[in-house]
Amino acid sequence: MKKSVLSGIRATGRLHLGNYLGAVKGMLELQNDPQYKTLYMVADAHTVTTPYHANELKVNRREVIIDYLAAGLDPEKSIIFQQAEVNEHFELAFYFSSVMSIARMQHLPTFKEKIKQHPQGSTMALLNYPILMAADILVYKAGLVPVGIDQEPHLEIAREIARKMNEQYGTDFPEPVRFATKGEYVPSLKGEGKMSKSVEGSYINLTDSHDEIRKKVRSIPTSSYVGMDSKELLKTLFSYANLFIPKYKKQYEEELAKGTLKYISIKDQITEAIYNELKPFQEKRIEIEKNKEYVDKVIQDGTQKAKEIARKTVDEVKEKMGLS
C-alpha cells in the first residue's frame, strides 16, 4: 500500500514565495515520487477562522487550485480538491475534539499569535483550527505532510490526537510528520519575522511582475539602524542569497569581509533568479485561467475521490466510538 501525503494552503489570496518554497515544492517532490499517494487541498474552511470576506473567499478558493495547477500539481498524479466540499473533515474534527482539552488548545503558540493579530477574533473556530487540521490529515491516514516549519505545533497536535484516538478507541492512525524543504522558513522582506500574507511589504506573490519583484527585493534592509550590527542587518539578504543564488554565497561573503560588496548587485541577481523560477509558473497560469471547464473538472473529480477515502475512515471511527 502506498503511503499517503496530505497538504493544504488557506484561501487568503494569491500564493507567495513562502507558500511556494515551504509547501508547494515539497508537494511537488512527493507527487512525483511513485511510493506516495498525494492529496492536496485548498484549506478554504480554515480561512473562516480569522476575519474574512465571503466574496473574496469565493474567488480565492478557486484561485489557489489554479496556482497549484500552474505550479505543476497534476490531477493525474494527485487528488486536488477543496476542503469544504468534503464534509467528512468536519465530522472527524468533532470526534477528535472529544479527546483534546481546552487548556491544551489555548496554550498553543500559533493560537496566541493569531489572537494578538486579531484581538476581536477569538472564536471557537480559531481554537479548533489545529483539530480541523488534524482531521484533514488523518481522515486520509496521511503520515507525511509537506508544510513550512511554522506548522510544526499543529503537527504536534495531530500526532497527539492520533495517539489518543488509537489508545482510547483502537483506531490505526499514523503519527504524521513534516516533510521539510530547503525553503521551510522564508524570511519577511522587511528583515523581521517570516514572509506572511498578513504583513504588508513582507511578501512576493508568485504572480508579481519582474519590476515588482525587483522593487521588493531592493527593499530588503541593508543600511544600518542604530544599535544593529551588520551581520544581523544582512541576515535577510543572505538568506535570500542562500535560497536563490547559493553558488555565489561564498563569493559574497568574501566581498563582505573585504568591504567591496555591492548590495544592489546581489539584490538584482536574486531578482533574476526569482523571476526565472516564477516565469514558467506565470505563463502556465495564464493558460489554465482561460480553461474554466478543465479547472471545474479537476475540482469535481478530486472531491469525489477524496470523499470516498474520507468516508471510509469516518465510518470506521464512528463504529469504534459506539456511533453506529
Residue numbers at the binding site for ligand TYM (CB under 6 A): 6-10, 18-19, 21-23, 43, 46, 133, 136-137, 145, 147-148, 150-151, 154, 183-186, 194-196
Q: How far is the CB of 259 from ligand TYM (least distance, A)?
A: 31
Nearer to ligand TYM, 6 or 220 (CB): 6
Q: How far is the CB of 165 from ligand TYM (least distance, A)?
A: 17
Q: How far is the CB of 89 from ligand TYM (least distance, A)?
A: 9
Q: 156-168: string of b/e by CB count within 10 Å (b at 16+)?
A: bbbbbbbebbeee
Please name the residues in contact with 294: beta carbons below 8 A apart, sequence gap of 6 or more. 288
Of all residues in the shown chain, the one whose CB is closest to ligand TYM is 22
Nearer to ligand TYM, 219 or 255 (CB): 219
Q: How far apart are CA 28 and CA 25, in angstroms?
A: 5
Q: How far is the CB of 3 from ligand TYM (least distance, A)?
A: 15
Nearer to ligand TYM, 53 or 250 (CB): 53
Nearer to ligand TYM, 159 or 255 (CB): 159
Q: How far apart are CA 231 and CA 246, in angstroms?
A: 18
Nearer to ligand TYM, 201 or 259 (CB): 201
Task: Please name the residue that has the C-alpha cell 515588482.
Answer: 212
How many CA atoms, within 13 angstroms, populate the side-chain half-sphere of residue 269? 17
Q: How far is the CB of 84 from ligand TYM (least distance, A)?
A: 12
Q: Name the residue among 52, 158, 319, 244 with its Cα closest to residue 236.
A: 244
Q: How far apart are CA 8 and CA 136, in angstroms?
A: 9
Q: How far apart are CA 135 and CA 138, in angstroms?
A: 5
Please name the residues in contact with 223: beta carbons below 8 A apart, sequence gap of 6 or more. none
Q: How far is the CB of 130 from ligand TYM (least distance, A)?
A: 8
Q: How far is the CB of 86 from ligand TYM (least distance, A)?
A: 12
Nearer to ligand TYM, 199 or 261 (CB): 199
Helix ranges, the chain (H): 17-19, 25-31, 54-71, 88-97, 102-106, 109-117, 124-127, 129-138, 152-169, 210-218, 230-233, 235-244, 249-258, 263-290, 292-320
Q: How far apart are CA 244 and CA 273, in angstroms?
A: 6
Nearer to ligand TYM, 149 or 256 (CB): 149
